[in-house]
Every structure is written in structure tokens, then in C-alpha cells.
Amino acid sequence: MTSTDPDDLAARLTDLGPHLDHPPAVTLVTDVRARLDQAPARRRRWRLLLAAVLAAAAGLAATPPVRSAVASRLGIGAVRIDPVDRLPSTGTTIDPVAPARGAVSFPVRLADPALAGPVRAVATDPAVPGGLVAITYERFTLTEIAASAGQRPVIAKLVGPDTAIEYLTVRGQEAVWLSGAPHAWSYLDPDGNLRTEPFRQAGDVLLWVDGNVTFRIEGLHGPDGRAVALALAESLR
């Protein structure tokens, strides 16, 4: 007889929720994303768009003065706008990550753009042996550091009692999620001593190692930060 208080049983059920041993479902969001391209919502959108275009065309055909007014606006200032059925080849697009690829000793990996959105900025730190690249997206920063699990650490994170440490897995590799109160971090010198420069502060962060690279996703806060960080981590390619 553990307890007979109904409120206590409710509290025990609430406590049980996060500890239920459900399937890990690591590729769930990526799998769903892949299926959405075949889902009806997108086709419906195109149908609506087609209907709107047809309605507009009917309206234009019925009123010639309007059509000529619109036609004369196909072009603005020094730019002429030519409607065509098929676009010509536009050559290669600029890859913002290209300079960083040459600055580090490992293949730079990117989060799935479907989840992460476009890359906003890329920075490298040549002071780190093997290289460090930080890729900033709209909502978070993905940092990749040349250092495997067995090697000497290059960064120390100082974690106070109000920061929670959770051990998780990313692609079957051990991962750590630091959350709650911000923690402090600094670089370590080759002898393992903390550099004397001021400490930097960091918020919720997911850390994991894959091959010879340590990965860090930072900047996702709030109750869903951990789930979003894990989904992004799984999406790296």
C-alpha cells in the first residue's frame, strides 16, 4: 500500500509520463517531413493557386484596358521582366559554407534545411587544432569541433547546481543536454589549463560526438528546446 490519496496517484502518473519507455523514434520528424510532400494539403494549395490564376486571367480577358495597364508594368525602371515558360540554367549558386570547408580537417555537416531553415552566417576558429566551424541558423548555432571522444578536451564547461545535465543519444552515440540556468565555458590550453580570458556564458546546449568531431547545438530554449535540438542533430548530413 504505497498510498491511498487520489491526488498522490495523479502526481505519480504525472511523474511517470516522461519516464515511459516508448520507442525512441529517432527519425520520426524526418520521416514525417518526407511523407508531407505526398500529402493532400500541398496539392490543395496548388489547386487554389491555379483557381486564382484562372479567375485572374478570365478577369483580364474580359477587360482589355486593365490588361494593357498590367502589361505595361512588366518591367520597372532599368529592369525588363520577360515571362517565359522555362527558366534557363543559372549556373552554380553561392555556397556560404564553402570557405569553411577548407579551414577544418573534417567534412562540415549541415542540418536538414527543411527543419533548420537557411544558413545565416559561418565562422571558423583556426586557434582550435583541427579546426572549429560555427554555423548560425535563424534560431540556433551548430558548432563542429575537431576532437573525438578519446582525445584531450579543448573546451571546459562549468556547470552550477541549477543547470540540469541529461544523458541522451544522438544516432546511437552518447549525447549531453545541459539546460536550466546558464553555464560558463572557456577554452583549455594544450596542458589542460583553463585560459585566463573571461569566461563566456551559454544557455541550453546539446553536445555529442560522431567520429572525430564534437557537435554542439546552442540557442534553443523553452520546454521544447531539447526535442527540437535532438531532431536537428538527427538530421545532420
Partner 1 sequence: MDDEAELVPRARAGDADAFARLVAGTRDVALRVAYAIAGDDAEDVTQDAFVKAFTRLHQFRDDAAFRPWMLAIVANEARNRRRGTGRRAAVALRAAGQREVPGLHTDPAATAALTDARDRLARAVGALPLRDRQVIALRYFADLSEAETAAALGCAPGTVKSRLHRALARLRAELGEEAEP
184 in Cβ contact with 177 (< 8 Å):
no
Q: Is 45 in the site for partner 1 (CB under 8 A)?
A: yes
* Residue 46 beta carbon to partner 1: minimum distance, rounded to whole angstroms: 8
164 in Cβ contact with 183 (< 8 Å):
no
Q: Is 228 in the site for partner 1 (CB under 8 A)?
A: yes
Q: How far is CA 114 from CA 10, 127, 160, in A?
A: 39, 32, 35
Which CB atom, from 33 or from 67, has the smaller least distance to partner 1?
A: 33
- The set of cell numbers assigned to 91 is 549556373
* Residue 18 beta carbon to partner 1: minimum distance, rounded to whole angstroms: 8
3-state secondary structure of 12: helix
* Residue 231 beta carbon to partner 1: minimum distance, rounded to whole angstroms: 4
Q: Which stretch binds partner 1 (CB under 8 A): 35-43, 81-89, 93-101, 197-205?
A: 35-43
- The set of cell numbers assigned to 118 is 537557411
Q: Which stretch binds partner 1 (CB under 8 A): 80-88, 112-120, 147-155, 199-207?
A: 112-120
Q: What are phi and psi of 68, to 5 degrees?
A: -70, -35
Distance CA 200, CA 117 (A): 27
From candidates 62, 167, 196, 198, binder to partner 1 by CB under 8 A: 167
Half-sphere exposure of 164 (CA within 13 A, CB side): 8
From candidates 31, 61, 75, 181, binder to partner 1 by CB under 8 A: 31
The residue ranges that bind partner 1 (CB under 8 A) are: 1-6, 9-10, 12-23, 25, 28-29, 31-33, 35-37, 39-42, 44-45, 113-115, 117, 165-167, 221-222, 224, 227-228, 231-232
